[in-house]
Amino acid sequence: MMFTIVISVIYGIWPIFVPESIMTAYGTPEEFVNPVVLNVVMLFGVAAWVVAILGWHIRSTVTEENVEKAMGYFAMAWLLYGLHGVFSAKLLTWPEGLEPDTFSEQTIGRIVFLVFSVIYYMLRKPKSN
């Protein structure tokens, strides 16, 4: 469970402190980067930190009886990260010639988040001794 917390903190630092950098990394054309968009990107970083804080709380309350439920919550968080990427790609409309590559860093990120979701779901039940 600590993995989700650490990744959420790291993933939150990037958009909060250098939102322009994350926009560049995702291939956003310069004409789309403005103060409003940067503010929304920073808000996403704050949301990632909220996930880390809630994850820390969930982790501290986990017992042997409720570990399956807690792991289900962590799996759901990763699923939401991945689905956000999938749906945002479908909702965005890009001007002709500015579309991102079909297989980009964003696509890799979506796949990784969805894989993490499946892993957490598969590992939700503790191994019995």
Question: What is the pTM assigned to this prediction?
Answer: 0.64
Q: Which of the four pLDDT bands, split at 50, 70 and 90, describes residue 13?
A: very high
Taking the C-alpha atoms of 124, 88, 55 and 4 in order, what is their torsion angle to the nearest 10 degrees? 70
CA 36 – CA 57 distance, rounded (Å): 32
Q: Which tens digits make up the pLDDT trace of 39-71?
A: 988 998 998 899 899 889 888 888 888 888 888
